[in-house]
Amino acid sequence: MTRKGFTLIELLVVVAILAVLIAVLLPALAQAREKARQVTCLSNLRQAGVGLAMYPDDFDGWALCAHPLPRPPGAPWMAGYAWEVLRDLGYIKNPLLFLCPSEPAGELNWSGVGYGVNYWTFGYEPTSIPPVKVSRVSAAGNDSNLIYMADSTRRVYQVTVSGLIQCWAIYPDLGLGQWYPVHIRHGAQADCLFFDSHAAGLDFDGLWNTTHWKPSQLPSLGGL
């Protein structure tokens, strides 16, 4: 009896074909995983939006501002953010939703959450006792363009907190050296919660569009 096996050339051809298939499929699998993470991120923001929408009903129509709590011991000069109020008042049952699945370095503390509040519009007042009255819901209206909360990061040089975001700071495109940037981490998009409680992704051009940002009612920052 004679036994016929694979030749070395045939084995090399099979290995080469498998390598090509893996090279083709891995990016597609990575994109699929990231898409699933983005879906979870958008769900997180929508749930946060429910809490943000409930807050004004209990506080005479005032929207929850970006920095509503006094500075905790050991924190930088700004700390005590909106996510903590939503958690402590019971508007959010699971605080882990403030951790974006596409930000592995995120932590559930004042410096490492995955989402920041638009302080350009909703302001902050670190010396006041909560609730800080910065923006009335009636002033902003049911604005489907106004960003309330979005993906944020603490990776940028000199930035130690991620509970705030601002316009004109977009990481990694324009985030270097800027405080409190929005973080584009879902492919070419950053996930955003808008003031009417819907959530969607915005690319760099969308984030740069001034229709998504409004000045605060604080006199030092201009009127709404």
Residue ranges per structural domain of the chain:
11-221
Residue 130's pLDDT band (boundaries 50, 70, 90)? very low
Cβ contacts of residue 90 below 8 Å, gap of 6+?
Answer: none
pLDDT digits (tens, 9 = 90+) for 49-80: 999 999 888 888 888 888 776 665 665 555 56
In this structure, of 79-83, 91-95, 181-185, 187-191, the range with the lowest mean pLDDT score is 79-83
pTM for the model: 0.78
For residues 213 and 178, the model is more confident at 213
Residue 179's pLDDT band (boundaries 50, 70, 90)? confident
Mean predicted confidence (pLDDT) in 137-141? 68
Residue 221's pLDDT band (boundaries 50, 70, 90)? very low
pLDDT for res 159: 60
Mean predicted confidence (pLDDT) in 197-214? 90
Q: How many CB atoms lie within 10 A of CB 182?
A: 31
For residues 28 and 138, the model is more confident at 138
Does residue 223 carry a pLDDT above 50?
no
pLDDT for res 22: 67
Does residue 45 carry a pLDDT above 90?
yes
Question: Which residues, listed in sequence order, are joined to residue 118 by a DSSP beta bridge?
Answer: 165
Residue 224's pLDDT band (boundaries 50, 70, 90)? very low
